[in-house]
Structure 1
Amino acid sequence: MRKRLVNERKKRKLTQKQVAEALEISSVYVRKIEKGERNPGRETMLKFEKLYGIQDRVLFEDLFQVYNDTKCIKNSSA
């Protein structure tokens, strides 16, 4: 769950339906984004950023995390 996104909506006393109407997206999509079941596109992230006045990197922290994968795939030539 994207807690920051949910908290910002609740802090402003908005329903998912009201957010959906403000962003011109479906309330089902808002719910899935908040639950982390769907990832918004860039345009939708910017709409959330504008609505809440908080950077998209803060609202969608999970999408901007950097993973350092140190595993190496060995060449398995037979």
Structure 2
Amino acid sequence: MRNKLVNERKRRNLTQKQVAEALDISLVYVRKIEKGERNPGRETMLKFEKLFGIQDRILFEDLFQVCYDT
């Protein structure tokens, strides 16, 4: 689960439906993004960034982690 994303939405007293409408994406997609079942594309990440005023690297930190596999 993407806790920072969920916590930010709740802090602003927004429902998943309200977020979906504000970003012009489906409610199901918002749910799956929050659960970590789907990864948003760059455009969608920027929509979340603009809505919450928080960098996408913070909201979706799992997608920006660097892993050195040797």
**What TM bracket, shorter-length normalisation?**
over 0.9
**CA offset at residue 68 of structure 1?**
0.6
Partner of 1:46: 46
Q: Percent identity over the alignment?
A: 86
Could you list the runs of 5+ residues in structure 1 that have no partner in the other structure? 71-78
Distance 2:37 2:9 in 1: 18
Q: Which has the higher helix share?
A: 2
**CA offset at residue 66 of structure 1?**
0.3
Could you list the runs of 5+ residues in structure 2 that have no partner in the other structure? none
Higher relative contact order (CA 8 A, sep 6+): 2
After superposition, residues 1-78 of structure 1 pair within 5 angstroms as: 1-70=1-70
Distance 1:5 1:27 in 2: 15
Distance 2:28 2:14 in 1: 15
Aligned pair count reads: 70
TM-score (norm 2): 0.99
Runs of 4+ in 1 over 2 A off after TM superposition: none
Distance 2:39 2:33 in 1: 6
Cα RMSD for the two superposed structures: 0.3
Distance 2:27 2:8 in 1: 16
